[in-house]
Structure 1
């Protein structure tokens, strides 16, 4: 065993004595509170690790989807270009090199797809009166609300408030569901939340939101011109204006 110089040995003993004093200062109540805090932190860490594992497990699916889209885009580009190009002397289409504009267009499409993929498990809740998203039970409270209203277990990986408050002082809430199938289920059953004055919408990308706003503006203008039988209809998740048949009940909100 290596012997420390007297000065260093004295310093080590001093630090050890100070540590012993600090430990002795903790009474049983403080020790219990410390243990509770450690257990709580451990639970939060385990939950965050679970969420991270869930998100990581989705990556192969996203990458496969992007690869399929890229392949389809390449094939579509070749098909369109071939149909527009004149035939060469040997009877075959002359294939031009990939232009910068075509490459930029492909990148824009891929970015839109990636953005929609990132949001496909998200929903927006409006007019939800509850505690701050900093509250430890915030996510659990929202999950309980969804379960009570829909009668089905709907796990949530995370929830957070953002944006500006509405006239009732409530900021929008974005929730991320564990299962993508629950997104469609909640959208189909969102009318059940009308009694609580809570509104559920998809988490739209900027491009989708811009398109929806144009559809709403067109609907408003046409109704002002007397076309009262129109409403917004979603086909494969894409909004468009449709006309109600005579005597047909209005669509759910």
Structure 2
């Protein structure tokens, strides 16, 4: 098998294994797993996303900043509901610094960061009304009408 096919298959398998996951950032850390579960459920209820989760895990080593929390949902549709509702966090006092993202692979993260760089360059060159939107699930630079 060609190496590029192997890389592509590994990427697809990695994406498939992550498609039921979301990552929460800046959720205050505690020493008790029950507190993490309670905090996640509190965030979910406040954004109006009543979804069932199968696992909640802190990622990485303990440090000065709160570690991200990976939430594994029971269904892929639950992830979509959470991601559609995440912007409500901006208006909730005490939770406006919490961020929610999909669990992306490293290649997806690097593609998005490259796209953000292109967006910044285009805005610095005078183009206006640009933003990153999703076309059929793929992040793309779009222009507001």
Distance 1:136 1:163 in 2: 15
- RMSD of the alignment, in Å? 2.2
Q: Indicate if the aligned counterparts of 2:49 and 2:82 stay in contact, CA closer than 8 A.
A: no
Residue 211 of structure 1 is aligned with which of 111, 114, 128? Answer: 111
244 and 151 in structure 1: CA distance in 2 versus 1, 3 angstrom threshold: closer
Residue number among 20, 23, 32 corresponding to 1:124 in the alignment? 23
Rounded Cα–Cα distance in structure 2 between residues aligned with 1:238 and 1:165: 33
Q: CA separation in 2, counterparts of 1:125 and 1:177?
A: 13
* Superposition deviation, residue 142 in structure 1: 3.7
Structure 1 unaligned segments of length 5 or more: list them.
Answer: 1-99, 246-253
Q: Whole-Å Cα distance in 2 between the matches of residues 151 and 243 of structure 1?
A: 30
Figure out how many residues of one structure are paired with residues of the other and give that number.
141
CA gap of 1:223–1:216, structure 2 versus 1, over 3 A, is same
State the TM-score, normalizing by the size of structure 2.
0.85
Counterpart residue number, 2:57: 160
Q: Provide, for residues 70-118 of structure 1, a one-character-per-residue CA deviation record: whole Å limited to 9, x for no partner.
A: xxxxxxxxxxxxxxxxxxxxxxxxxxxxxx6xx2222111111100001
Q: 1:149 to 1:219 in 2, by over 3 A?
A: same
In 1, Cα distance between equivalents of 2:104 and 2:140: 15
Which residue of structure 2 lines up, in the alignment, with residue 191 of structure 1?
87
> RCO greater where, 1 or 2, for CA within 8 Å and sep 6 or more?
2
**Aligned partner of residue 15 in structure 2, secondary structure:** helix
Q: CA deviation at 1:125?
A: 0.8
TM-score (norm 1): 0.51
Which of the pair is proportionally richer in strand? 2
Q: Would the aligned equivalents of 2:44 and 2:82 in 1 still touch at CA under 8 Å? A: no
Q: Which stretches in structure 2 are left out of the alignment for 5+ residues? A: none
**Equivalent in the alignment of 2:138:** 238
Name the residue aligned to 1:170: 66
* CA–CA separation in structure 2 for the residues paired with 1:153 and 1:188: 13
Alpha carbons 1:123, 1:176 under 8 Å: kept: yes
State the partner residue of 2:42. 145
Which structure has greater helix proportion?
Answer: 1
